[in-house]
A = this chain, B = another copy of it.
Amino acid sequence: MSVITKILKVPVLKNPVMICGLPGSGHVAKLSLDYLIQELKAELFAHLVSFSFPPQVNILSDGSVDILKSSMYYWENKDGENDLILYTGDAQPITPEAEYELSDKVTEIGKKIGVKTLFTLAAFIIGRFVDKPRVYGTATDQMALRELEKYDVILMNEGTITGMNGLLVGFAKLKDMRGICLLGETSGYILDPKSSYSVLQILTKMLKLNVDLSNLEKRAKETTAVIKGLQELQRRSEAQQKGTKEDLGYIS
C-alpha cells in the first residue's frame, strides 16, 4: 500500500475551502467536481496515484495512454472570501486500507495548505428515478449542521457513508478540520447530472460562488429525456411480460 504524490506547484491560498468528489454511484460527485473545475478554469497542482488503483492504464481518445490518477486543482476567488481546492480522480482504490491511506494523504495536503473546511459530495441511492433530486447532508459539528438546515439540506440521523467521499469527512474531523458531506439523491442506475445539479445548487449558494450551472442543467434535462425513454421501454417490456420484473442495470 502506497501513494505517489506529485506536487506540480504549491499554491498560496486565501482561506481555502476544499471540495472533494471521487467516482461513485451515478458519478454524482465526480460530475460535480469535473464541472466546477471546468467552469472555474481551476488550475492543476498535484497528482496522487494510489498503488491500489486498478492495475491498468487507459488509452485516451487521442490515442495516448495514461496511468489512473487523482488530481488536485486550485482556484483563486477574486471576489469572495474563500479560495478553493478541488479534488477528484479517475478511480477509488480497490482495497479498504488504501481508501484510508489516500484519504489521509489528501487531508494532510489540504491541512498544510490551510484548509479549515472540507466538503465532500456523494450519492444518496434511492433505487428509483425522481424529477428533482433532494440533497441530504451531514457534518462533523453542530454549527455546520445548523448551517446546512438554512439551505434546506435534509439532515441524516442514521446510516453510513461508504468509500472515500465518506472517509474524507472523517479524516477532516480527526485532523481538526470541519467536514461537511452533501449527498444528492440518485437512482443508482444511470450517470446522474440531475443529482449533481441539485448538489451544486446548494454548494454554490453555501460558498457564495458565482458559477454558471446552465450547461449542467442542460445535461440534466437530456438525462430526463433518457430516463423517460428508459421508463417507456420498461413499461412496454412489462406489458409484454405481464408482471415479469426486469432490472434496468447500470446504463451510462
Please list the residues of chain A having a beta carbon within 8 angstroms of any beta carbon in chain B.
1-2, 4, 6, 47, 49, 51-69, 94-101, 104, 138-142, 145, 155-164, 166-167, 169-171, 173-174, 179, 181
Contact = CB atoms under 8 A, between A and B. Distances in A.
Contacts of A63: 138-139, 142, 145, 155-157
Contacts of A69: 174
A142 B56 CA distance: 20
A158 B59 contact: yes
Contact of A96 (B55, B65, B162): B55
Given A138-B65, A169-B65, A170-B66, A52 B157 contact: no
Contacts of A97: 1-2, 51-52, 95, 98
Contacts of A174: 4, 6, 47, 49, 67, 69
Nearest to A51: B100
A59 B157 contact: yes
A64 B101 contact: no
Given A99-B55, A173-B66, A61 B163 contact: no
Nearest to A61: B157
Contacts of A138: 59, 63-65
A140 B54 contact: no
Given A57-B166, A163-B55, A65 B99 contact: no
13 contacts: A1-B2, A1-B97, A2-B97, A49-B100, A55-B96, A56-B161, A57-B170, A58-B159, A62-B157, A65-B161, A65-B181, A67-B170, A67-B173
B100 A142 contact: no
Given A67-B174, A98-B97, A61 B158 contact: yes
A145 B62 CA distance: 10
